[in-house]
Structure 1
Amino acid sequence: MKGTRVKFSVIPVRSVKAGVQSTEKVDGETVLASLEQRSGLPAGELARPGESVPLEAAGGDVSINLEGRNKDYISAIGATVLEASFVYGCVSSTPKPVYGTVTTWHEPIAGLLECGTDPKSAYAREAYTLLCGEKGASATASVSPSP
C-alpha cells in the first residue's frame, strides 16, 4: 500500500544494567577505566553503574515506511555487552585481594532486519534467530547505528 508506515514495538529479550559487584567496596570508576584501557576503548565509552541499555526515544518503537517492500521485517535494539572478572589489590597494600565482576555495555545500536537475509553482527544474528526462526539465506541485513 502506498505510504504504508509500520510501527515495531520492543519485546524485551533480556535487559542489561551496568554494575560492579565485589567482595569488598571498590571504586566502580577505577574498575571501568581499567576495563576500557584493557579493551582499547576511549575513556568514558562504557556505561557507568546503574545505566541500562537505552531504548529509542519513542519508548522502543521504531516507525518506518515499508512501501514496495513485500517481505517480513523485524527491528532490533541492542548494545555490545562486556562482562569481566577482576582481582584488585597488591600483596604489600592489602591484606587480601578483592574479587569481583563488572557488567557494562557500549555502542547502542538499532536497526531493521529483513527475514531471509544473513545478518553479520552477533546481536543481529541473535535477534534474527529469535524472531525470524531461521538462520538466513544469502543477502546482507540492513543495520545502522542509532544516533
Structure 2
Amino acid sequence: MSAPPASSTPLINQRPAEATDRQIARHWEGDLIVGQGNRSAIGTLVDRTTRYVKLLHLPDGRGAEHVRHALLHAFAELPAELARSVTWDQGSEMGRHDEFTRAAVNGLLRQYFPKGADLSIYSAEDLAYVAAKLKDRPRKILG
C-alpha cells in the first residue's frame, strides 16, 4: 500500500486554501456513519470539489488502527495526485463546518444503510456497489 496523502489530516483551520475554496479536486473530508449500538461503522470519504465518494470497509471495528488501515487501502487505489489532503470530522468541537456536505452524503448513505442497522453485515463489495451508485447520481452542485 502507498503512504497516506502528503498533508493528511489537517485541522480545519490548517487545511490548504485550495481545499477550502473547493476549486481543485484532491482534498477529501472523512466521516463515519455508525451502526446499531455503536458497534459497527462505515467510513466515508468525499472529495470536496467533485463530491466523489469512497466508502471505507470497517468490518473489524472503527478504532484508529482500523480506520488508518482502511484509509491506506482507499488511497492506494488512487493516483497520488488525487490524494492531497484529508480532513477528518473530529466531532462537535470542530464546529459546524460543511454540515451540508456531510448531511447530504450521510443522508444518501442511509438509503442503503439504515440508521440503527448492524453495518458489519455489509461486505467491501456491497460498499463498492453503493459508492458506484452514488457516483452515478446527478448532483445539482456539479451542474
TM-score (norm 1): 0.24
Relative contact order (alpha carbons < 8 A, sep ≥ 6): 1 or 2 greater?
A: 2
- Between Structure 1 and Structure 2, the one with more helix by share is 2
